[in-house]
Amino acid sequence: MADISSWDLIAVKKDLIKAQQECSQRGLMHSAKWTAEMAFALRETIDYKEIQEIIQKSQTLGADYEKYTLARSYFDVKEYDRAAYFIQDCSHPKVYFLYMYSRYLADEKRKTDNRPDSIGPPKKIENGNLKVLQSELSERHKKKELDGFCLYLYGVVLKKLDFVKEAIDVFVEAVRKEPLHWGAWQEMTRLITDREMMSSLVLPDHWMKQFFLAHLYLELQMNDEAVKLYMRLCSHGFHRSTYIMAQNALAFHNRRAVDQAVSAFESLQKYDPYRLDNMDTYSNLLYVKEMRAELAYLAHRCCDIDKYRMETCCVIGNYYSLRSQHEKAVLYFQRALRLNPHYLSAWTLIGHEFMEMKNSSAAIQAYRQAVEVNRRDYRAWYGLGQTYEIMKMPFYSLYYYRQAHQLRPNDSRMVVAMGESYEKLDQLQEAKKCFWKAHSLGDVEGLALIKLARLYEKLKEEEQAAAAYTEFIYEAAHQGNYSREDQSQAYMFLTNYYLKREMLDEALSAAQKCAEFTETREEAKDMLKEIANLRMREGAQIQEVNVSITDDQLPSGDHTPFSSLPPMNLRFTP
């Protein structure tokens, strides 16, 4: 089934319709929604009569039908204990799943209702009911009496009790028995930490596996692989899938291709204007771009659609944060967490807000909660590193930056942060390696080269420092967005470097550039005089340098490219 081009789309749509019915009847509404959306993307492949036949076949419940319909009506209004009570003696597998699932959700609802609103160290969670569920499901599992859906629930319970390895094994068994249940595939992605673990799993050769792999690639920050697979799915029938549109937008977001991500979300909104899924990520992008009007419109729009959705609360929180109303932002992120305590984005964003409010202890608690929800969230690890850096605890910040770097090995920000921590810990050789690696990765913030150059300067490695400063000047001239203060310091070092070696033409060019910056202007005047005196002493036959420079005569405005210093080949050993 790996060859997507060979899929029978009629058979795929029939599978999706069947899966939607099976999930819906068991109260697995998120999986039912996903399969319904995917089936809708394949509209016009089969006719209405075939759809009706599939639905009718899935509705046979035998003698348990009346109890099931009563329990399901209670389940739908979140009276989970009541639903479980009326079907506790039913034997049909579908009804048994609803019974166990109702008990599980009743326990989760009680935990949420009893959870305090304040951010702080989490109270010890009593898992007595979960352990009872685990025991009952384990007994049936040993007797091989669990179908694919009950195996999924068993895996969820094991995961909640931190039996991760056992949970993965059960989820694999669940998707082998019921490959059409998207929820089991999704739960499995949250437990797979790397490529090695992914390749070790023995998964069914079913068409759903391709959606799982694409989703997992995105979770593991393998964004290029994810986009390639989604493009293949789009080119073979799923081009109208709003889920795939959203996943591609998330991939652009992960790549930090902000403009492309914003454009992708705008297209998604036009196609599906009442969608709230992923709008929290869209609001993060608008926040980064400081698109205040667009973020305000999105917040009002989401509020009109459903003001009690966690995504809506997150969007509004981002809006207030952009307006620097951090207390209001925290309030809305807390509302989102009240709706879903496992909402990863809200934990991370509330950590950022506490950082803005200079409440380091609350920020640390929030970031740690984010890590508890998803240990693959590099933003939370990075936030912890920044918090401990502000608290002047570089050993701790280095640990958290390392965790973030493992999750985002090609993100130069993590590597620069590690380098800064190593420098503060006086591990300068390690710091050099980090700054060099960050430069090699592309250095999105433009900090690595100047930090590397200063480190060489500090270590009296002048040849290496000159090479790094020269490369920094070249990049600043061609890419822009570099600090003028950093550029002035680079020119000043090179002026001194060339003066020491009596390379007067190069020193003159560098000193003239120094004179363009306010920070080094006065010092540049003295250096130009010194260069002129050296030239006169040597009797050089060159145009006389005007040493009587006044402020009015000095160049003004933006600096020009430092053409006399071409980029050097930075093949020095960091």
Tell me the DSSP string of 65-91.
HHHHHHHHHHHHTT-HHHHHHHTTT--
In this structure, are 478 and 566 located in the same domain? Answer: yes
pLDDT, average across residues 20-32:
95
Looking at the structure, do residues 430 and 459 belong to the same domain, yes or no?
Answer: no
The reply to whether 463 and 412 lie within a common domain is: no
> Could you tell me the pLDDT band of residue 10, with boundaries at 50, 70 and 90?
confident
Fill in the amino acid letter for 239. Answer: H
Alpha helices in 357-483 (DSSP H): 360-373, 378-390, 394-407, 412-424, 428-441, 448-458, 462-479
The verdict on residue 81 lying in a domain is: no
Q: Are residues 455 and 404 in the same domain?
A: no
Q: What is the chain's length?
A: 574
Which one is predicted more confidently, 572 or 524? 524
Mean pLDDT for the stretch of residues 205-221: 95
Decide if 506 is inside a domain. Answer: yes
Look at residue 269 in the predicted model and tell me its pLDDT: 95
Mean pLDDT confidence for 412-436? 95
3-state secondary structure 315-366: HHHHHHHHCCCHHHHHHHHHHHHHHCCCCHHHHHHHHHHHHHCCCHHHHHHH
**Co-location of 456 and 561 in the same domain:** yes
Question: Of the candidates 508, 518, 521, which has an alpha carbon nearest to the alpha carbon of residue 549?
Answer: 521
Report the distance separating Cα 162 and Cα 372, nearest Å.
11
Q: Residue range 123-131: average pLDDT?
A: 74
Query: 432 and 474: one domain?
Result: no
Residues 6 or more apart in contact with residue 183 via CB below 8 angstroms? 23, 28, 30, 31, 152
Q: What is the pLDDT of residue 119?
A: 59
Q: Is the pLDDT of residue 566 over 50?
A: no
Looking at the fold, whether 454 and 400 belong to one and the same domain comes out as: no
Q: State which of 443, 460, 478 marks the end of a domain.
A: 443
Mean pLDDT of the chain, nearest integer: 88
551 domain-assigned:
yes
Q: What is the pLDDT of residues 40-94, one digit of tens each?
A: 998 766 666 666 666 666 666 778 899 999 999 999 999 999 999 999 999 899 9
State both tokens at 119.
Answer: 């951010």
| pLDDT tens digits, 344-401 | 999 999 999 999 999 999 999 999 999 998 888 999 999 999 999 999 999 999 999 9
Same domain, 495 and 437: no
Verify that 546 and 499 share a domain, yes or no.
yes
User: 408: domain CATH number?
Assistant: 1.25.40.10
Count CB neighbours of 343 within 10 A.
21
Cα–Cα separations (whole angstroms), residue 180 to 57, 239, 353 = 16, 20, 40
So what's the pLDDT on residue 62? 74
pLDDT digits (tens, 9 = 90+) for 486-507: 999 999 999 999 999 989 889 9
Domain boundary, last residue among 443, 463, 486? 443
Position 47 in a domain: no
Span 545-567, mean pLDDT? 42
H or E, element range at 225? helix 223-233
Share of the chain above pLDDT 90, in %: 71
Spatial contact of 89 and 52, defined as CB atoms under 8 Å apart: no
The answer to whether residue 437 sits within a structural domain is yes
Q: How far apart are CA 380 and CA 370, in angstroms?
A: 6
Nearest-angstrom CA–CA distance, 77 and 65: 19
pLDDT band with cut points at 50, 70 and 90 for residue 567: very low
Give the domain range for residue 389: 375-443
| Residues 509, 403 within the same domain | no
d(CA 429, CA 420): 12
Kindly state the tokens that stand for 10: 């009629």
Q: What is the mean pLDDT of residues 213-220?
A: 94
Look at residue 513 and tell me whether its pLDDT is greater than 80.
Answer: yes
Q: Is residue 435 situated within a structural domain?
A: yes
* Out of 25-29, 207-211, 482-486, 562-566, least confident range: 562-566
Q: Would you say residue 537 lies in a domain?
A: yes
Q: What pLDDT is stored for residue 553 in this prediction?
A: 43
Same structural domain, 469 and 552:
yes
The CATH number of whichever domain residue 484 belongs to comes to 1.25.40
User: On the CB side of 313, how many CA atoms lie within 13 Å of its CA?
Assistant: 20
pLDDT beyond 70 at 546: no
Choose between 568 and 71: higher pLDDT.
Answer: 71
Q: Could you tell me if 487 and 479 are in contact, meaning their C-beta atoms sit under 8 angstroms apart?
A: no
Total domains present in the chain: 2
* Domain-terminating residue out of 397, 422, 443: 443
Tell me what the mean pLDDT of segment 200-210 comes to.
94
Burial-class residue 39 by CB neighbours within 10 Å (0-12, 13-18, 19+): buried
Q: What is the pLDDT of residue 122?
A: 52
Report the chain's terminal Cα–Cα distance, integer Å: 47
Say if residue 455 is in the same domain as residue 567.
Answer: yes
How big is the CA angle at 372 (ends 370 and 378), to the nearest 5 degrees?
50
Is residue 175 in some structural domain? no
**373 within 8 A of 342, measured Cβ to Cβ:** yes
pLDDT confidence of residue 111? 86
> pLDDT digit string (tens) for 228-281?
999 999 999 899 999 999 999 999 999 989 999 999 999 999 999 999 999 999
